[in-house]
Chains A and B, each alone.
Chain A
Amino acid sequence: MLPTFVIGLREGIEASLIVGIIAAFLAQRGDRRAMRWMWAGVAAAVTLCLGVAVVLRIVNDGLPHAQQEGLATILALLAVGGITYMIVWMKRHSRELKRSLEAGARDALEAGAWAMVGMAFFAVIREGLETAVFLLATFSNSTNPVATGLGAVLGVAVAVGLGVAIYRGGVRLNLSRFFRLTGFVLVLVAAGLLASAAHTANEAGWLTALQRPAINLSWLVSPGSVRASLLTGTLGLQPVPTWAEVLAWVAYAVPMGLYVLWPQRRPAPELPEPHPTAVAPAG
């Protein structure tokens, strides 16, 4: 039961982390309408993934492996783009948002909120199909379907619970700390996604250079453990990442991390007029 629990947890948290952050952000804005759309979108995405997984099972077919990995690469790159947009948007608008929330005005920020509703839907679609296919396999192709299936469902349930916890915790933080923290977390998530895009690009046959193992992290990310599933699911850490994956991760995390952590330039405080007696009299 533990092996399927661990896989379900990993697959589930990849989506629930993003949804939790977006839900917390929308709640902080007090944008009830966007939140309702987000939950509707998430429900639709889950249903769609289960439906497609069932169809795939019946047809017992799919895209050839290389094409599947190519599609996964493109989806991961799009996700990196979307998350980067979120990070930059939050950084640019945090002070403005705080002021406008306090003043009660919200219209100028509508477009950003809807983009995030779209991102939540997209995140569930992206991770959800893989999760749905995996869940179906544990129930139908198992010598002990109850144990393996139950383990997988529990893993996904715990992942959803963690997403809810992130949402609750995020809502309670004060706004600027919330932005800082989620910006930082999203940088790590996007860096992990870019690294996994490098991985799937190799499997699609698009990237053949830099494929030697760069570092052995299997002591930290030991396959099959709960810790590994959390680290891989949230940060995209692999047991033995290749040079391509490590470079992709660093190339994103360092500049974007600096961008997020760089203190915002405050407007220069008004300097007092120099005192007349400070001017030394000539002579």
Chain B
Amino acid sequence: MDRVGNARRHAGSRLFALATAGLLALASCSHDGLGNAGTLDVNLKDFELTLSAPSVPAGTITLVAANAGPSVHEFEIFLVGEGVDPAALPVDSGVAITDGLAPVEEVEDIAPGTSQKLALDLAPGTYAVICNLPEHYANGMHATFTVG
């Protein structure tokens, strides 16, 4: 009976170790993956949007968006088309008109004092980051970066 009890205990702890290792592997998978360790910080506040770097390597990057507040912000990433100046978009009813920009990603509802992280796989090109809540673009919440 003791032998059966011991075997069961070992099986249980082995399973636990496997599960933990599995979860850790999953968690680390999404960060660097294949060695492309590009990161980009997006800093949001009233009313400024700044990036930590003007360009990032092609491939998977980790983007960290932090909002220093005091308002709630969001941001959208667009691929910039030919002949479009993302810093001079027309504004209608307080929001920028994004014709000529192809939407890539969006994160909404970033509360002040919080940050959000996401992994992106970007092809080479020029990208624009905009907070398009009413009046925010016109007050300067936009930036561009290049990939590759």
* Residues of chain A having any CB pair with chain B under 8 Å: 3-4, 6-7, 58-61, 64-66, 134, 137-138, 141-144, 147-148, 151-152, 203, 205, 211-213, 215-216, 218, 223-224, 239-240
* A3 contact from B27, B71, B103, B135, Cβ within 8 A: B71
Report whether B94 and A66 are in contact in the complex, using a CB–CB cutoff of 8 Å: no
With contact pairs A58-B26, A59-B30 given, residues A213 and B93 touching in the complex (Cβ less than 8 Å): yes
> CA of A223 to CA of B31 in the docked complex: distance in angstroms?
33
> CA of A82 to CA of B112 in the docked complex: distance in angstroms?
36
Closest 6 CB pairs of A and B: A213-B93, A216-B93, A60-B30, A142-B114, A218-B134, A65-B105
> CA of A213 to CA of B92 in the docked complex: distance in angstroms?
7
> CA of A134 to CA of B74 in the docked complex: distance in angstroms?
13
Report whether A66 and B103 are in contact in the complex, using a CB–CB cutoff of 8 Å: yes
Interface centre among A61, A65, A203, A205 (most CB of B within 10 A): A65
Contacts of B93 in A (CB 8 A): 213, 215-216, 240
Contacts of A4 in B (CB 8 A): 111, 114
Contacts of B11 in A (CB 8 A): none
The chain B residue with its CB closest to the CB of A144 is: B113
Report whether B105 and A218 are in contact in the complex, using a CB–CB cutoff of 8 Å: no
Decide if B119 is an interface residue (CB 8 Å cutoff): yes
Contacts of A60 in B (CB 8 A): 27, 30-31, 117-119
> CA of A7 to CA of B72 in the docked complex: distance in angstroms?
9
Contacts of B30 in A (CB 8 A): 59-61
Report whether A59 and B103 are in contact in the complex, using a CB–CB cutoff of 8 Å: no
Decide if B133 is an interface residue (CB 8 Å cutoff): yes
Report whether A58 and B27 are in contact in the complex, using a CB–CB cutoff of 8 Å: yes
> CA of A218 to CA of B132 in the docked complex: distance in angstroms?
13
Contacts of A223 in B (CB 8 A): 71-72, 133-134
The chain B residue with its CB closest to the CB of A134 is: B109
Decide if B97 is an interface residue (CB 8 Å cutoff): yes
> CA of A64 to CA of B77 in the docked complex: distance in angstroms?
13
Contacts of A64 in B (CB 8 A): 105
Report whether A240 and B117 are in contact in the complex, using a CB–CB cutoff of 8 Å: no
A102 CB to nearest chain B CB (Å): 48
The chain A residue with its CB closest to the CB of B72 is: A3
Decide if B116 is an interface residue (CB 8 Å cutoff): yes
Decide if B23 is an interface residue (CB 8 Å cutoff): yes
Beta-carbon contacts under 8 Å, B85-112 to A: 92-95, 97, 99, 103-106, 109, 111-112
Report whether B95 and A240 are in contact in the complex, using a CB–CB cutoff of 8 Å: yes
Report whether B111 and A138 are in contact in the complex, using a CB–CB cutoff of 8 Å: yes
B45 CB to nearest chain A CB (Å): 13
Report whether A3 and B112 are in contact in the complex, using a CB–CB cutoff of 8 Å: yes
29 A–B contacts, CB within 8 A, in A order? A3-B72, A7-B72, A7-B109, A58-B23, A58-B27, A59-B26, A59-B29, A60-B30, A60-B118, A65-B104, A137-B116, A138-B114, A142-B113, A142-B114, A142-B115, A144-B113, A151-B111, A203-B106, A211-B99, A212-B92, A213-B93, A213-B94, A215-B93, A216-B134, A218-B134, A223-B71, A224-B71, A224-B72, A240-B93
